Structure 1
Amino acid sequence: MNRRELFKGASALGLAASTPGFVSRAVAATTSPSVVAPVASPRQVLLLNKGWRFFAGDIPFSPIIGHDATYDAAKAGAARGAASPKFDDSAWQPVTLPHDFVSFQPIEESGNVDQGYRRRGVAWYRNMLRFEPQDDGKHIELQLDGVATFATVWFNGTLVNRNWSGYNSIYIDLTPYATYGDQLNSLVVRVDAEAMEGWWYEGGGLYRDAWIVKRNPVHIKTDGVFAHPVKDEHGWHVPVEVTIYNSGDKTETVRVHTDIGDEKSPAGTRPGGTKQVSIAPLGSTVVNYDIPFANPHLWSVDTPHLYQVTTSLTSETDAVLDQVTTHAGFRTQRFDAQKGFFLNDQPVKLKGVCLHQDHAGVGTAVPDGVNDFRLRRLKSLGCNAIRFSHNAQSKELMEACDRHGFLVMAENRNFNASPDYMAQLEWLVRRDRNHPSVFLWSVFNEEPMQGTPAGYQMVRRMSSVVKSLDTTRPVTAAMSGGLFTPLNVSHAVDVVGINYQQGQYDPFHAAHPDKPMFSSEDSSALMTRGAFVTDKKAQVLASYDDEAAGWGETHRDAWKQIDTRDFVAGTFVWTGFDYHGEPKPFNWPSNSSYFGIMDLCGFDKTAVHIHRAQWIKDKPVLGLVPHWNWAGSEGEPIMVMACTNAEEVELFVNGKSAGRQKTDKYEMNRWTVPYAAGRIEARAYNSAKVVSTVINETTGKPVALRLTQDRPALIADGRDAQPIMVEAVDVKGRTVPLANHMITYEIAGGAIIGLGNGDPISLEPEKGNRRSLFNGLGQVIVQSIEAQTGTLKLHATAPGLKPADLSIPVKAGPIPQSQPTRA
């Protein structure tokens, strides 16, 4: 059983295709039926997450004095101090990647508010790699998927890379510097996390995976296959672009071949594309051909069907030199300035959320299993689109969006047309342009220059870079102003994204009736999960959707402005989940945001019920708030809110009707009733028939804990992880909504990697084995141990409550092969 089979709701295979009006790629092709079954690629992709040693703080280089020292320091391989291969790091802390060192820091008032009051600073990572003698002659590449924030990399004492963003991957050719056999190779990364690129929690360190990729000298470059299906007047076809590099010392002639298949029609059973090319030493070439494809299964948000694209290089003697498998999805997309967005020629209103990449307990080092949990939670809302704010995400998360059927607005981090930053934009497009989920390229968010000629000129250049690599999706930008100046960014993009400014929808559409537009960011509504009385002194905001930031709107109002206008293609709500940092409207001790539809753990706020009622059309939904535990408030008025997509809704208090109302699909429905212990019940009706019922009861005192797993099992690969929900329950097993007990955890057969509870003002550590519940709920994230199958056992205790135990099967599964290190 593989990991994908364990993820609920994950699709098997499927992906996406074209955009009429944005398709223009010249192709020269030879097609031929393939009769050769795919073979194992000779390339090795090795995980480099083990063997690292970590030092928190900087280790300054000592001054260079004297001619000989100055001369030596100017030479390759002569790095000094902690960058030197000879440096003794035996006292450093052993760590395994991904590693967000900021997530381990205490929350301190002297820290930066937007970073969640956690200190960042400078840190060092060192590793020692062993390459076998048989690796000599291979092309060896280091891939660091994400380093926050600025990075300096040395290999065997030579400075091999400086990187200026915490969000792009770093690819480094190690071949010229590598040694083989018993002489180990020194890899050192200095991370400067004092540098900040955003106003949210960014974490710090090697917070994504690291890899070593070993290939034949003649090979397909990293991110070197582009195979995104398109549909034109001749039908479906797949233009294929393959970039090949030869790091060897002689000219090589190779055959390039691509097959496309899925589970029903494996690769090799349809026509493929083939070309023969010669590549000079240290040269690269781009090969293009076109593959016709009849009657594909389409990728959509409801049926995200993916195809495998297998591209091979073979020698003149038919030896396989390299092979790469990417995915593709067949779909069309277009924006209409009057009617919005169309996917596969069907109108689709964008029901999207903005997301930062962190999660409770783990910071930015989010395991794939937790990201899968987050995506499934969003699907449960009726969400069909994600804007990744405001930066590139991990490749694994992008692949998960393909599988789950999300439309992705892929956003560039830095608005800058200088070479370093244009290279980051180019990397983003090259890496992600095969994903069917990607339907928009965003070049910036809320830039002060957006309404100026200079901003216009910068976007012209950035858009040109995007379209030199991909003409199948439009370019956009998230504009928070400057829409009506004589020359502004809206004149340089294909589709205009508007942040907030909902009063400008109609004037902008009237001024530019041929310009497609959408809400790239809206709402910024504020609520504390599980709280229903506002106490701003205590930094608590009631969850009735009555509070919003000064620049924003409530969830209800924002959606009404979009849903009632066909020409507004859809929404991206700020935000899907709470996130560390930016705790507006408060400061200390608040250290995470209040904006989320869900809290930092992914637990429901009232906004979940609102958006389900707004966005889900194919089944009846009903949500009811608040809880009904109001001891001491007997007889006092309590606001009750029901959220449903049904025609009518009726509230009952202790069995007596408080009134039946016609549903207001935008404002939802409310009653004010005197509190009396017992229960409230909402009934939703269609055609006078009850289609859904929800009951909230007054609970007893908490008597026990309960643990609920997210998925039925884990894979024993040392990477698979899942969140566990923790509740305090009464004697009838009902969650006690005001319980805030301190919970202590013990684990066997696995590891605890993070703790959370969704409380934005909690100062408790998110690491360790103790954390309080917040309004009845808590979360503990557990992870498997590599090659240790059997059972993960979690034990939770709290003073005065019956303990809870949970057993999760840990099953054998594929374990990524790792690069040998000193560990």
Structure 2
Amino acid sequence: MYKSSQLNDCWMFTKENDPAYASEKLKEWQMVTLPHTWNDKDGQGGEEPYHRGACWYQRELEIDEAALGKRYYLEIGAAGNIGHVYINGQLAGESRCGYAMFRVSLNPYLKAGGNRISIQVDNSYDNEVYPLLADFTFFGGLYREVKLLVMDDIHFDVMDNGRDGVYLTQTSLGEERFQLDVHGRIVNEFSRSVQASVEAELRDHLGNTVWQDNSILALMANSEFAFKGEISSPVLWNGIEQPYLYTAFISVKVQGQVIDSRQIEIGFRTVELSSERGVILNGKPIKINGVCRHQDFGGVGNAITKEHMDLDMDIIREVGVNSIRLAHYQHDDYFYSLCDRYGLLVWAEIPYISIPSTKDLESRNAVEQLERLIKQAYNHSSIYCWGVQNEITIAVETENTYRTIQKLVDMTRQLDRSRFVVQANINGVADDSIINSFTDLVGYNLYYGWYYGEIDDLGTRLDEFHRTSPNVPVLVSEYGVDTNPNYHSYKPKVQDYTEEYQLKFHHNALQTFQERPYVLGGYVWNMFDFGSANRNEGGEKGKNLKGLVTIDRTLKKDSFYLCKAYWSQDPFVYLAGRRFIHRHQERNDIKVLTNMNHIRVYHNDELLAEMRGSERVFEVKDVTLVQGENRIRVEGIQADVVHVDEMVLIPVMEANQSYIHVKEEKTKHVVNWFENFDLSGDGQIELKDGCFSIYDTIEDLYTHVDAKAVFLKYFGHTTNNPFFEVTKGVMSIEKMSQLAFYEIPLELLSVIQKELNIIPK
């Protein structure tokens, strides 16, 4: 009979990378409990440098001689980013999919008594393992649970890169009828055929049998099985309104005895896409009110427990989302289960992100990660789409990129025809790009009013896309701004990192989506602040601050309550600006965020205003503060229930300087570094056949001593950037000129090209 037990304790760990540790005991080590990462501090802005390299984990496993006849598998929840597993000094298995679960068969290497498990985990840069480059920390470690699986010689296949060895598919037949398909594979490790019974049963919440079937099989080494049943008038899995789940029981019996079994939850639902009506769940159009989530947590990195995930889900449900984008990689299976149970539609994806490999032109690693994601998460009813790329054209857009995306799309449809395929483009991808024809659904990561453009450009861009591609369903796959809740301003502006600017930005975005039925909705980037080791901005080191909630989950920013006002059905009132305590202007505007239609606002117990309406932001303007504490109270009235929120404001003579983000001043030669060169030419770019050009990759320029010298002459100051080595295989000077970070004028491109025109390839 199948048994699973945790192996999370008694692990020795060392950062010393010695190949001898595959068989020998670690010399200097610390005892750790899984989940564990060695980047829990330095991956989120700690004092130590961000450590990337190979480290070792080791523990002992005792096996009784009498139990050696069983089948043993080691299940590793994830090893970031590359893992090699050794049993008693022998390589037993490996993984190059740093966010996926993998298993290792132990029997060929086990002996009676003590067995040494040694696992090398490596989060170093590898050009053939995704992600290569991204704005988040690549945490190293055994950051999910490790389990020992024990089973008999006959069992469901646990080594097909999947999770259960059993796959459930529900398909609408119309007229409140659904077809349930159950299929899988059974492994028989006896040397002879064995007769077995495979039984399938579906039960409702009360334990009543809704459907059942069985089949007698003569089991060979590998035997496929399949059932097909019709379910009439099931209670639907209806998102956050009613996430009803049935339970399927699948078992294998030999001579009447259960040898292996699975319990899998499943919901019956239909999801359709329309370029005019949006996402249609069970026949009803819904607007995607979504957030994105990274899996790390303040102080523990990505070595999170179920308790951390439960807390995340509680906060996510409070804000009222109906969908979540689990970015930019496969998440813990437990979190997908939470989404099933609480009704969140899930966008699940792989880390084919930012830049493609220059060595693995077939993208074998992306293919492998996609297969594991789909097979391991296949049975989660909450998943409505599989994501195949995120901003992969940020540095280069080539025919090979197109082929890879198409390959991933084709593979997705081969593995799962019951769900949609989606991608997330950087804003620079043209509305009529061929890329947008590859997937069922197109997302754009749009940061108008933060990295480029103005806030109002968001609506203009979406309108232009719909005019250009009226039949392509589109949503905003990321939008957000970095925010430090310690910073505040009466006149919020781009990149001041204030709560007030984040509130302004998100208010515009939510209104933009609401006004456009053809926009399926959007996903806030991000639900929580998260680790990004190479960042240092907004007054915080090592973090991306675009979350609605801080990385430690202790503080919900004002924009959290703005989203809650738009999305949640639970009545509440909230006073924005509560951390902007010290006010240096006499007159102040009071903003109330609420989903209630009747409110009263008080100042020191005196009624300021009584307001009614369907607005989500009420504003009382020009409130005069008095000396000392000013108590502001708001009441939301609904029938006989009153919801209350309060804050205190204190007038001061001068602006509180701690509210202002002081940016590090750049010297003039850094800001206008190109002023050192003669830019008096006509700005025309002429290419010469057979010579190097600004369109060649930096890596190609480096193959010729003179071409390399030209690059270093103009861009030597950029080579110490941590992203330089990662991107030089795909980045060209021309592509650099499209990125605001480099500030390259057209005239300089002309000057550089003239110098390259005299260097033959």
Is contact 1:148–1:202 with CA below 8 Å preserved after alignment?
Answer: yes
* 2:488 match: 532
Is contact 2:294–2:326 with CA below 8 Å preserved after alignment?
Answer: yes
Is contact 1:451–1:488 with CA below 8 Å preserved after alignment?
Answer: no
Is contact 1:519–1:572 with CA below 8 Å preserved after alignment?
Answer: yes
In 2: Cα distance, 1:613 partner to 1:343 partner: 23
* 2:737 match: none
* 2:435 match: 489
* 2:13 match: 54
Is contact 2:205–2:245 with CA below 8 Å preserved after alignment?
Answer: no
Q: Secondary structure at the match of 2:541?
A: coil
Matches within 5 A, 1:254-269: 254-266=196-208, 269=209
* 1:713 match: none
1:309 is matched with which residue: 248, 267, 274? 248
Cα 1:673/1:698, change in 2 over 3 Å: closer
Q: Is it true that 1:472 corresponds to 2:410 in the alignment?
A: no
2:625 is matched with which residue: 665, 675, 678? 675
Q: Is it true that 1:640 corresponds to 2:579 in the alignment?
A: no
* 2:680 match: none
Cα 1:583/1:52, change in 2 over 3 Å: closer
The Cα shift of 1:668 comes to: 5.2
Q: Deviations over 1:115-166 (max 9, x none)?
A: xx64343311011212223332322211111111221221222212232232
Is contact 1:255–1:274 with CA below 8 Å preserved after alignment?
Answer: yes
The Cα shift of 1:361 comes to: 2.1
Q: Is it true that 1:412 corresponds to 2:321 in the alignment?
A: no
Matches within 5 A, 1:118-267: 118-179=50-111, 181-182=112-113, 184-195=114-125, 197=131, 198-222=134-158, 223=163, 224-233=165-174, 235-266=177-208
Q: Is it true that 1:102 corresponds to 2:32 in the alignment?
A: no
In 2: Cα distance, 1:108 partner to 1:263 partner: 46
Q: Is it true that 1:402 corresponds to 2:358 in the alignment?
A: no
The Cα shift of 1:594 comes to: 1.8
Q: Deviations over 1:610-661 (max 9, x none)?
A: 1111112x35332102238846x57634443211233465543224454556
Q: Deviations over 1:30-86 (max 9, x none)?
A: xxxxxxxxxxxx101111112211112322x4xxxxxxxxxxxxxxxxxxx1111xx
Matches within 5 A, 1:483-632: 483-484=429-430, 488-500=434-446, 502=458, 503-522=460-479, 524-529=480-485, 531-533=487-489, 541-544=497-500, 546-547=501-502, 554-581=505-532, 586=537, 589-602=540-553, 603-616=555-568, 618-627=569-578, 630=581
Cα 1:201/1:334, change in 2 over 3 Å: same
* 1:800 match: none
In 2: Cα distance, 1:310 partner to 1:238 partner: 13
Cα 1:660/1:127, change in 2 over 3 Å: same
Cα 1:360/1:585, change in 2 over 3 Å: closer
In 1: Cα distance, 2:405 partner to 2:565 partner: 38
Letter in 1 for 2:338: A
Is contact 1:630–1:675 with CA below 8 Å preserved after alignment?
Answer: no
* 1:377 match: 315
In 2: Cα distance, 1:299 partner to 1:311 partner: 21
In 2: Cα distance, 1:623 partner to 1:152 partner: 51
Cα 1:479/1:385, change in 2 over 3 Å: same
In 2: Cα distance, 1:430 partner to 1:241 partner: 12
Where is the helix percentage greater, Structure 1 or Structure 2?
A: 2
Is contact 1:517–1:567 with CA below 8 Å preserved after alignment?
Answer: yes
Mark the runs of 5 or more structure 2 residues left unpaired by the alignment: 357-361, 449-457, 651-655, 664-761
Cα 1:483/1:103, change in 2 over 3 Å: closer
Cα 1:583/1:675, change in 2 over 3 Å: farther
Is contact 1:255–1:275 with CA below 8 Å preserved after alignment?
Answer: yes
Cα 1:528/1:672, change in 2 over 3 Å: farther
Is contact 1:122–1:190 with CA below 8 Å preserved after alignment?
Answer: yes
Letter in 1 for 2:63: F
Q: Secondary structure at the match of 1:509?
A: helix
Cα 1:438/1:109, change in 2 over 3 Å: closer
Q: Deviations over 1:552-603 (max 9, x none)?
A: x811111112111111111100011111226867177533222111111222
In 2: Cα distance, 1:593 partner to 1:106 partner: 11
Matches within 5 A, 1:724-743: none
Cα 1:220/1:367, change in 2 over 3 Å: same
In 2: Cα distance, 1:363 partner to 1:144 partner: 18
In 1: Cα distance, 2:45 partner to 2:526 partner: 25
Cα 1:683/1:486, change in 2 over 3 Å: closer
Q: Is it true that 1:88 corresponds to 2:25 in the alignment?
A: yes
Q: Deviations over 1:146-201 (max 9, x none)?
A: 1112212212222122322321112111222222x32x222111111233833212
Letter in 2 for 1:274: N
Is contact 2:532–2:544 with CA below 8 Å preserved after alignment?
Answer: yes
Q: Secondary structure at the match of 1:402?
A: helix
RMSD: 3.2
Letter in 2 for 1:508: F
Q: Deviations over 1:313-332 (max 9, x none)?
A: 112x2232211111111111
Letter in 2 for 1:654: N
Taking structure 1 as the reference length, the TM-score comes to 0.70
Cα 1:494/1:134, change in 2 over 3 Å: farther
In 1: Cα distance, 2:403 partner to 2:565 partner: 43
In 2: Cα distance, 1:630 partner to 1:288 partner: 64
The Cα shift of 1:364 comes to: 0.7
Cα 1:515/1:326, change in 2 over 3 Å: same
Matches within 5 A, 1:641-656: 641-647=591-597, 649-656=599-606
Cα 1:166/1:669, change in 2 over 3 Å: farther
Cα 1:318/1:629, change in 2 over 3 Å: closer
Is contact 1:451–1:481 with CA below 8 Å preserved after alignment?
Answer: no
Range with greater deviation from structure 2 (127-136 or 571-580): 127-136
Taking structure 2 as the reference length, the TM-score comes to 0.75
Range with greater deviation from structure 2 (416-425 or 385-394): 416-425
Q: Is it true that 1:280 corresponds to 2:225 in the alignment?
A: no
The Cα shift of 1:534 comes to: 8.5
In 2: Cα distance, 1:587 partner to 1:653 partner: 33
2:210 is matched with which residue: 239, 263, 270? 270
Is contact 1:628–1:679 with CA below 8 Å preserved after alignment?
Answer: no
* 2:289 match: 351
Q: Deviations over 1:682-710 (max 9, x none)?
A: 344689x99644322469xxxxxxxxxxx
Cα 1:53/1:345, change in 2 over 3 Å: same
* 1:755 match: none
Q: Deviations over 1:392-429 (max 9, x none)?
A: 00111111111222111101112675333312111100
Mark the runs of 5 or more structure 1 residues left unpaired by the alignment: 1-41, 62-80, 112-116, 700-737, 741-758, 762-823
Q: Secondary structure at the match of 1:171?
A: strand
The Cα shift of 1:291 comes to: 1.9
Matches within 5 A, 1:285-296: 285-296=223-234
Range with greater deviation from structure 2 (507-516 or 668-677): 668-677
In 2: Cα distance, 1:665 partner to 1:610 partner: 11
